[in-house]
Structure 1
């Protein structure tokens, strides 16, 4: 059971006054006794007090406080006695308002005060004028009996940095210095109550073709832009995160940056440059308008700035200045999210023309100067390429002589061309497009011939124009195609020549197959000319194929030692051409000899078909291969003085002489050099004295010649005799030949028998007998000796008296020979 009893406030106040009169303590003691007859009771005393001075912050009306915005705070201050509400309490001397990020006065950022409240109230600012300043004309203080109502109008500056929750502190002081405050009020908001950070919103970049570069849903995103491509960046500047809170004119300056960035790493790792980084950037500035919006023009890199094609460039918006120009804020931050950045790909390379082909029955052929047969529509196929991707259209400009030569002057005038647009998939790196058929009757009409001119226009995704698409006119167009009547092709059988050697083709040797062909449409109108050396049933081996349109030779590489050549020469102004095919059969054919002679085949193809000229089996030129070789010449030459005799299959040399061995290789039973012999054909030169030997390798050059130096080393040849043996053991050449040598250590001795040339009769000079004896330990040959002479008169040579003559051997064998004969010593 609860029993409540109230004590009159007059009784309590009287007790308090009585207590204070006799006690200076600030604490009033109220004695309380409770007695019961039985049981126990719990006593609780609750007292309600009213302070003598009350400060109050009235409800705040504004939601956010932004720079240069005025907000109003209302405070109420009461000074009185609750027991005597009608009595006049001491007056207020000052009222104060403080704005703080916390509840503590010491943290206050803005401090304003009202004074002279009993006369003419005045308001002044004690602190924080850099953040917000007091608007006196919009502020007021009205005091009545015991109550003052204050209105505080404050305008913030750009330096008033972000505050999450503003704590409003109100404080009144009376004439006795009594103050019970400050009163404290704040709102716990989910946002910054004071905000001065800015951000760019609604950034949009459009190009000169009105494409929105932000549109990531477009299949061409990120878009490709070419050099100096014009762009326009638009958007608005607002306070961070606050809808519709755009800055006023002059309160911000926007900077648009375009900067090269690494390509995207599709594997998910960090974006990195594949090679050297590309360093390029540029910036453009612009002010905001009265609605906070901006519009700034910018450009893609210039062609001269050497930014590589395919480089990714990021456009980003930044706030270069936050706040008015005269009061730019250091605390206002640029909070523009980088998710608004806009990428594009720089493309400076023009798309290229790969080919324009005519599609006739013989296959694909370059369209320029192609001869098309009358009676069928002209089919063309164009191939374009661009490393960054092609646009999805091309324009085909055509001039068809019968249809478009309006003035009949035969000149391809630019205004006479007609155009057609052809579409294909966008973004292709290479596009192969079949163009609309061109009617043959529009080209030739009733004539026997006519011309068609083609020019192609196209762009890549960046708008770069096609390179190589041609210009209007016969000298600059992409292709001029000639339509003609069909004419026969013939080959004069009398002109056929094949330079086999009695039905043999020598491997490695250059042979020729020649003939003369006549075609009224020109030789370039033909698809191909085919020579099959092994016969018409083996056209895939040992063949030579020549395509006159391209001047291209295709062969069976395994069959030929070197690339065959085809020489075409027109016979004057006639529609006749001499064709000469030169080839060298490969040496590896020797590994599979023919079991029977081969019969060559000659065919000419046009419009995809064999013309059937009756030359597919040229039995008159049947042939077989020859590959056996011989050493045509073996020559030793002494290079060291005195020069020894190296003839007659015997070598007379000195120790440490240097010999030059020269070999000439020819086809067996011919004088034809063996050319381009295989590297496997290696011989050996063996120098030996019968006990010691030295082996050297012998190889041949492409002309069938071999030269090798042999040193007669005294480390090898220690005896006075020895030999050099040449050995070849190869399927192409079997050879083993030994040449003996003698080391001649001593000079021969010459003896003139007594009486010989002792007296010379001047009238018998024409038949002067000479006898000499020659001795040599190593032996003498059968060759004559040479006698040299001249006459002296008183020790001075007689002019024109010198001479020489051969003297034959007259007797002797082995080491001593006698030489005798009559010599004409008559002066000239």
Structure 2
């Protein structure tokens, strides 16, 4: 069987070809005359061809095929080139005699079979689609014990019957190629040798936006065609229906970002950028595929045309190059002399090549805003606030802004001040989220905790509030209640202030083991009711300094401006200064000394009186007094009886006539010595 090796050479000349070109070949099994295994110069055979006359550039020169049938298994073949151009300049980089110096060295081997693993053939798709502008991969496993370089050509026919869908792989040079008018762009080739004679082939490619419409409307069934020794091998890899596909040629130019370059800076809101007159801005776009949202690459030369139009005057046009074949960045400005109000639309269009399915344009809306937003505090919002009701305060404000405020919240700041100076750590801030917006009126509302220590507030302190925010064009808020024009809220400090107003002791100077009372009065000078704890404390000294002991305590409930009395009874347990104090709400830093005198020892009379004052002595005294009273009573009764007897002997009998019956002419009536008055006369 003939074993022919087709030979061809590519040669480049910048001026003029036309000279001879010589191909020197040496076959180890045929031309090694002296059998030394070395390619001697005199052992080379020569084939001669003439290059095209006066032609320049790169030209392919074909030589007759080289017969290798008798070269033997693993026999070497050495090749090198000599020759001149039309001016006689020698060929460069053509090699020299010898296996170590030649241009190419081949090894002949018995022709072994080539196979492709059918299950290994794969084509990564998005669903059943190939997406334009994105990398896809066709892969398969191939086995050839002669090496993959022994194969003439491997063709991937993505769209059988349409040569524009062919990808050719040259296994020897490991290069990929396509037809000149093909929309397929080879990206990469990976050939991994899994084992001796076994290879994993991965071909990466990208479809262009000029893919034929038929690839979108008709299902394509790819195939793998392997050519060896000029013949197409039957490997069962034709019409791979399980890998059928259609092209999805949709591409969108999407707005990626837009920034206000002039202070105060504004942010992109949706696809709308709010600017002030004379602002500069930039924006960027990116090609995306709507199927998976990934970036799209356009092969070839493309540019982006821009048009900014307000539908009133002539549009402003400019363009930029599509960088990285996928994105762009552009800068423009809003001159006040041209754009002083209203809105405009910036439209970006991709141009430069064939688009089977047109790429969707990008649009950026520009709102030109020259009026700052106006802040308005409703009468019911923070006009008055009580210091004991500063949590969950409902705050509602309104902003008049025709251009737009966006969805971002505003910031409410507050500061508690005394004599115009902020009280330490008595400030804060909170966000006011957007509640509603309608016809240029934006309402923000929420409940806010003025999270401060209200116990530090005093009557006369002030609460200052202000709101920070800006519209979408960057204009800061204006009006009462904004930064630099803060709002003063009427602060009503609610407090409970118990004050010890009176304190007396009885007796002032008690004696040891006697009980004395402490009477006091507590007045609430605040404007809120509350409960105060009044305690009687005693100081006890010790080696470590001493400590307070609680002797008694009571709780008093007081309304605003109300007072209440308290009384403590205490036994004097020692002589001298008892060091007693009245404590309010367990505050050991604000104690009031009890005005009790020095406790003294008892005198003898006080001791006697104290003994008499005992229960037994009292009983005895009562008994003695009772006996004395009985004796006195008996004596008085006896004296009364004696007097009664004397009275009975001395009183004469009554006259036989009544006083009004005294006879006339008998002289004066006798004097009546006794007379009793009836109850009726007494009344």
TM-score (norm 1): 0.43
Alignment of structure 1 residues 104-123 onto 2, 5 Å: none
Task: Tell me the residue number matched to 1:626.
Answer: 248
Q: Would you say the 8 A contact 2:432–2:444 is kept in 1?
A: no
Deviations 1:175-206 (A, max 9, x none): xxxxxxxxxxxxxxxxxxxxxxxxxxxxxxxx
- List alignment gaps of at least 5 residues for structure 1: 1-358, 368-385
Pair 1:722-2:346 in alignment: no
Task: Tell me the residue number matched to 1:61.
Answer: none
Structure 1 residues 737 and 534: CA distance shift in structure 2, 3 A: same
Structure 1 residues 423 and 778: CA distance shift in structure 2, 3 A: closer
Structure 1 residues 403 and 791: CA distance shift in structure 2, 3 A: farther
Task: Tell me the residue number matched to 2:29.
Answer: 400
Deviations 1:266-323 (A, max 9, x none): xxxxxxxxxxxxxxxxxxxxxxxxxxxxxxxxxxxxxxxxxxxxxxxxxxxxxxxxxx
Question: 1:613 and 1:604 mapped to 2: Cα distance?
Answer: 8
Q: Would you say the 8 A contact 2:25–2:79 is kept in 1?
A: yes
Deviations 1:434-469 (A, max 9, x none): 79976644x42xxx4333446789999999999767
Aligned to 1:571, what secondary structure does the other structure show?
Answer: strand
Deviations 1:12-66 (A, max 9, x none): xxxxxxxxxxxxxxxxxxxxxxxxxxxxxxxxxxxxxxxxxxxxxxxxxxxxxxx
Q: Would you say the 8 A contact 1:599–1:622 is kept in 2?
A: yes
- Which of residues 170, 173, 188 is equivalent to 1:547? 170
Task: Tell me the residue number matched to 1:532.
Answer: 157
Question: 2:382 and 2:172 mapped to 1: Cα distance?
Answer: 87
Q: Would you say the 8 A contact 1:544–1:555 is kept in 2?
A: yes
Q: Would you say the 8 A contact 2:99–2:105 is kept in 1?
A: yes
- List alignment gaps of at least 5 residues for structure 2: 11-15, 55-59, 454-683
Question: 2:307 and 2:189 mapped to 1: Cα distance?
Answer: 43
Task: State the Cα distance separating 1:490 from its structure 2 match.
Answer: 1.2
Task: State the Cα distance separating 1:566 from its structure 2 match.
Answer: 4.7
Task: Tell me the residue number matched to 2:192.
Answer: 570
Pair 1:450-2:42 in alignment: no
- Which of residues 255, 260, 266 is equivalent to 1:644? 266
Task: Tell me the residue number matched to 2:673.
Answer: none
Task: Tell me the residue number matched to 1:785.
Answer: 410
Pair 1:363-2:6 in alignment: yes
Q: Would you say the 8 A contact 1:753–1:771 is kept in 2?
A: no
Structure 1 residues 755 and 529: CA distance shift in structure 2, 3 A: closer
Aligned to 1:493, what secondary structure does the other structure show?
Answer: strand
Question: 2:334 and 2:105 mapped to 1: Cα distance?
Answer: 72
Task: Tell me the residue number matched to 1:580.
Answer: 202
Q: Would you say the 8 A contact 1:630–1:668 is kept in 2?
A: yes
Deviations 1:788-816 (A, max 9, x none): 46788999989987754212356886447
Pair 1:557-2:180 in alignment: yes
Aligned to 1:517, what secondary structure does the other structure show?
Answer: strand
Deviations 1:627-684 (A, max 9, x none): 2334555754333222335425655432122333444442344313332178788665
Q: Would you say the 8 A contact 1:361–1:608 is kept in 2?
A: no
Aligned to 2:315, what secondary structure does the other structure show?
Answer: strand
Task: State the Cα distance separating 1:770 from its structure 2 match.
Answer: 7.1
Aligned to 2:177, what secondary structure does the other structure show?
Answer: strand
Alignment of structure 1 residues 204-243 onto 2, 5 Å: none
Task: Tell me the residue number matched to 1:694.
Answer: 315
Deviations 1:400-448 (A, max 9, x none): 38966857xxxx447x78636769799999998979976644x42xxx4
Deviations 1:744-796 (A, max 9, x none): 423534659699498895x988x374746444353764643113467889999
Task: Tell me the residue number matched to 2:400.
Answer: 776
Alignment of structure 1 residues 382-393 onto 2, 5 Å: none
Task: Tell me the residue number matched to 2:130.
Answer: 505
Taking only aligned residues, the RMSD between alpha carbons, in angstroms, comes to 5.2
Pair 1:659-2:264 in alignment: no
Deviations 1:93-137 (A, max 9, x none): xxxxxxxxxxxxxxxxxxxxxxxxxxxxxxxxxxxxxxxxxxxxx
Question: 1:389 and 1:739 mapped to 2: Cα distance?
Answer: 66
Structure 1 residues 596 and 821: CA distance shift in structure 2, 3 A: same
Aligned to 1:524, what secondary structure does the other structure show?
Answer: helix
Task: Tell me the residue number matched to 1:597.
Answer: 219
Task: Tell me the residue number matched to 1:823.
Answer: 449
Structure 1 residues 728 and 458: CA distance shift in structure 2, 3 A: closer
- Which of residues 337, 358, 361 is equivalent to 1:732? 358
Question: 2:418 and 2:23 mapped to 1: Cα distance?
Answer: 105
Task: State the Cα distance separating 1:513 from its structure 2 match.
Answer: 1.1
- Which of residues 369, 387, 400 is equivalent to 1:743? 369
Aligned to 1:567, what secondary structure does the other structure show?
Answer: strand
Aligned to 1:400, what secondary structure does the other structure show?
Answer: helix
TM-score (norm 2): 0.51
Q: Which has the higher contact order (CA 8 A, sep 6+)?
A: 2
Task: Tell me the residue number matched to 1:203.
Answer: none
Question: 1:800 and 1:743 mapped to 2: Cα distance?
Answer: 39
Task: Tell me the residue number matched to 1:517.
Answer: 142
Task: State the Cα distance separating 1:482 from its structure 2 match.
Answer: 1.2
Aligned to 2:75, what secondary structure does the other structure show?
Answer: strand
Question: 1:647 and 1:475 mapped to 2: Cα distance?
Answer: 69
Pair 1:492-2:117 in alignment: yes
